[in-house]
Amino acid sequence: MDLAELNRVANAMVAPGRGVLAADESSGTIKKRFEVIGVECTEDNRRDYRELLFRSKGMANISGVILYDETIRQKAKDGTPLVKLIEQAGTLPGIKVDKGIHALPFCPGEVVTEGLDGLRERLAEYRGLGAKFAKWRAVITIGAGIPTHACVNANAHALARYAALCQDEDIVPIVEPEVMMDGDHDIDRCAEVTEFALKLLYEQLYYAKVKLEGTVLKPNMVVAGKACAKQPSVAEVAEKTIRVLKECVPAAVPGIAFLSGGQSELDATARLDAMNKIGGLPWKLSFSYSRALQAAPQKAWAGKAENVEAAQNAFSHRAQMNSLASRGEWKPELEKAA
C-alpha cells in the first residue's frame, strides 16, 4: 500500500471547488432514469449520455467520476475510451464495486450490501483500466424498530472489509453508509441513526486497519424523512449534519463528499453551501451527487442529438453551483441567472 499516493488521491477528490460526479447507475437504475425522459435504455444511448457529460465544460468542477462496470470499458463514438475523456478533463476515474443490496436474514425490512467475493481480483482489473478510487454503498433504512444493530454492524463490517481491500490494491475507498430519506421520521431521528451508522463504521474501519488518510466518506446529510410533515430549514440541516459529523468522523479523514439521496437539486446545493459557510471544520465538505447533478441534464437531453449542448450547459451549471457551495460561496441569485 502506498499511503502517500492514497492520501494524494483522496485530497484531490475533495480539492477546493471540486466534487465527485456519481455516474455509476447500474443498467437497471439508468433504465429508470431514462424512462422518465422517454429514452430507450440501449448501450449506445447510455454511452451517448455519459459521453456528453464527460465532454462538457462542467468537468472543470468535477474531481472524480464514479463509473459502472460497463462504462469503464466503453468507448466514445469516435473510439476514445470514456476513461481517457475523463482523464483529459483533469478528472479521476473511479468505479462502483459493490454488487448491490440483499435482504438480511431475520431482519425484516433491512438489507446488506454484498460483493466481497472476488473483490481483490476485480480491484486489480479496475486499477488496470484506470480507476483511482472505488465506491461501496450500504443502505440503512429507518422505520419502526429499525435499523437494528445487526444491520448497521453487518454493513459497517462489509464497508471495512471493502475499504481494506481497496487500500491494499492502492485504490482509495469511498465509504458510503446511506441512511435513507424514505419514511416519515423527523430530522432528530435521522441524526440519531446517522450517528449510530457512523460510530459503528469508524469502529469497523479501525478493526480492519484501514488508514483514514486514504479514504473519503460519502454520507447522507441529516434531514427529515420525505414523508415527514415537519421539514427542516437549510440552517437546521446544516447545523445538525455538522454536529453529527463532528461527533463521529476523525480529523484524519481528508474529505466528506455527500450523496444527494433524493433531495431537490437546490436543497442539495443550498445545504452544502450552508455547512461550508459555518466553516472551521477539520475535513473538506464537498459533493458526490448523482441525481442532484444529473436530473437537469437528463431532462434537457431527452435522448435527442440536437439537445446535447443544452444538456451540457445544464450539467455545467449544476457542477458550478455545487463547486461554489463546496467553498461556501453560493448565492441563490446565481440560480436565477441560469
Q: Please name the residue ranges forming H helices in 37-118.
A: 43-54, 69-72, 82-88
Q: Which residue lies nearer to ligand 13P by CB, 141 or 260?
A: 260
Q: Which residue lies nearer to ligand 13P by CB, 136 or 196?
A: 136
For the record, the C-alpha cell of 263 comes out as: 433531495
Q: Which residue lies nearer to ligand 13P by CB, 77 or 224?
A: 224
Whether the CB-CB separation of 322 and 287 falls below 8 Å is answered with: yes
Which strand (E) or helix (H) includes residue 113? strand 111-113
**132 included as an active-site residue:** no
| Residues 298, 307: Cα–Cα separation, whole Å | 10
Which strand (E) or helix (H) includes residue 102? strand 101-103
- To ligand 13P, the closest distance from the beta carbon of 249 in angstroms equals 18
Query: Which one of 96, 132, 135, 218 is the catalytic residue?
Result: 218
Whether the CB-CB separation of 186 and 228 falls below 8 Å is answered with: yes
Instruction: Output the CA–CA distances (angstroms, integers) from residue 256 to 18, 141, 154, in the order listed.
Output: 12, 21, 22
If you ran DSSP here, which 8-state letter would residue 14 be given? T
- To ligand 13P, the closest distance from the beta carbon of 95 in angstroms equals 12
- To ligand 13P, the closest distance from the beta carbon of 262 in angstroms equals 6
- To ligand 13P, the closest distance from the beta carbon of 109 in angstroms equals 20
Q: Which residue lies nearer to ligand 13P by CB, 177 or 254?
A: 177
Q: Which residue lies nearer to ligand 13P by CB, 74 or 290?
A: 290
Q: Please name the residue ranges forming H helices in 55-186.
A: 69-72, 82-88, 119-128, 149-168
User: CA torsion, points 116, 122, 126, 128, in degrees to nearest 10?
Assistant: 140
- To ligand 13P, the closest distance from the beta carbon of 288 in angstroms equals 6
- To ligand 13P, the closest distance from the beta carbon of 166 in angstroms equals 16
Q: Cell 440560480 appears where?
A: 335
Query: Which one of 51, 110, 169, 176 is the catalytic residue?
Result: 176
CA–centroid distance for 120 within its chain: 22
Q: Which of 12, 2, 62, 3 is nearest to 254 (CA)?
A: 12
> Can you give the binding site for ligand 13P, defined by CB under 6 A?
22, 137, 176, 259-261, 289-292
Whether the CB-CB separation of 62 and 89 falls below 8 Å is answered with: yes
**51 included as an active-site residue:** no
Q: Which residues are catalytic?
A: 176, 218
